[in-house]
């Protein structure tokens, strides 16, 4: 969304309310049910402009440990100081990239930075619960459904030959 900050810059209003939908970048294994709903405001306090946004994004995916379906709403708070183009040097903008958004004349485009923050802030792994026990590595049964009959004791393949030695000793 490109926002015209002209009325704010001219002193006609002290606040511009923002409410729109932002299409998120696709992520592997994640389905976004809808676009991100973004609400917030651009305010002017004696020449100090502040952009405050809150984005909410519905998602679906699989638990990283047990592959159970997971869905929810990811919420992100986004705050930046708005500066006019040429106010800060390129070095200052690079050093403080997460603090400022730059006006292009009187126009403000925050979609790129906000979209990037949504992707960077999104969880790397989805979990059905924080303490998800995962799946049995032998049979694949989800451990949250109870224990399976698989043996949990694994023999190191390098020492498997010794097992046959002890089995022969029992038979003699």
pLDDT of 169: 54
Would you state the pLDDT for residue 40? Answer: 95
pLDDT at residue 171 in the model: 56
**Cβ atoms 32, 74 nearer than 8 A:** no
pLDDT of residue 145: 85
Token duo for residue 104: 């292009």
pLDDT score for 161 = 80
Contact status, residue 70 vs residue 61, Cβ threshold 8 Å: yes
Distance CA 43, CA 68 (A): 43
**CA nearest to 123, candidates 34, 54, 38, 63:** 63
pLDDT at 98: 79
Asked if 7 contacts 15 with a C-beta cutoff of 8 angstroms, the reply is no
How many beta carbons lie within 10 A of that of residue 18, not counting itself? 18
pTM: 0.76
pLDDT for position 166: 67
Amino acid 167: pLDDT: 65
Mean pLDDT by 10 residues, the chain (172 residues): 86 91 90 93 87 95 93 94 82 80 86 89 92 88 84 77 69 56
């Amino acid at each position: 969304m490109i926002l015209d900050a002209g009325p704010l810059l001219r002193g006609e209003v002290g606040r511009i309310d923002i409410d729109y939908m932002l299409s998120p970048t696709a992520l592997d294994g994640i389905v976004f049910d809808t676009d991100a709903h973004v609400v917030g405001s651009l305010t002017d306090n004696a020449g100090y402009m502040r952009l405050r946004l809150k984005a909410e994004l519905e998602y679906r995916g699989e638990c990283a440990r047990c592959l159970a379906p997971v869905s929810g709403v990811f919420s992100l708070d986004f705050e930046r100081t708005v500066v006019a183009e040429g106010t800060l040097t390129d070095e200052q903008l690079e050093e403080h990239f997460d603090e400022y958004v730059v006006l292009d004349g009187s126009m403000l485009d925050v979609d790129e930075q906000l979209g990037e923050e949504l992707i960077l802030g999104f969880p790397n792994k989805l979990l059905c619960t924080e303490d998800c026990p995962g799946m049995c590595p032998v049979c694949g049964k989800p451990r949250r459904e109870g224990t399976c009959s698989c043996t949990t004791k694994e023999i190191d393949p390098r020492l498997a030959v010794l097992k046959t030695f002890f089995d022969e000793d029992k038979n003699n």
